[in-house]
Amino acid sequence: MATARRLFDEGAYVIITGRDEDRLHCAATELDAGPRVLAVRADAANLDDLDALMRSISTWRGHLDAIFTNADTAIFTTITELTEADEDRSFDVNFKGVFFTVQKALPLLKERRPRRFLPNR
């Protein structure tokens, strides 16, 4: 949220995403969501959601100037209680979600060099 705020304050058009519609709405409101903010409910681990996100961005602005990926999830349990499903979800969001977000966004990046990819890792 701090990155979105800083970019917004510096005049950028900003896209924020999240899985929770209520939290996403609160974040958009906190950013004074006007025409420079697009809030899209999307799960980074869901490729259909990512496709819908890219369609929304394409319709909204037609392009991206930069990508800041910040998808992350954590499992808070003991190692003895950690399940394969927990690890699958973590991998799906933390690695695949970031990778496929960037892959699907590449066609929307403006054609200029260097392209900007800002992973939060």
Pairwise CA distance, residues 68 & 6, whole Å: 12
Q: What is the CATH number of the domain that holds 80?
A: 3.40.50.720
- List, for residues 11-38, the tens digit of each pLDDT value: 999 999 999 999 999 999 998 868 999 9
pTM tops 0.85, yes or no: no
- List, for residues 59-70, the tens digit of each pLDDT value: 999 999 888 888
Q: Which domain holds residue 9?
A: 2-119
pLDDT, mean over the chain: 88
pLDDT confidence bin for 112, thresholds 50/70/90: low
Specify which residues 38 forms β-bridges with. Answer: 15
Q: Concatenate the DSSP letters of all residues of 2-20 into one string.
A: HHHHHHHHTT--EEEEES-
**pLDDT higher than 90, residue 113:** no
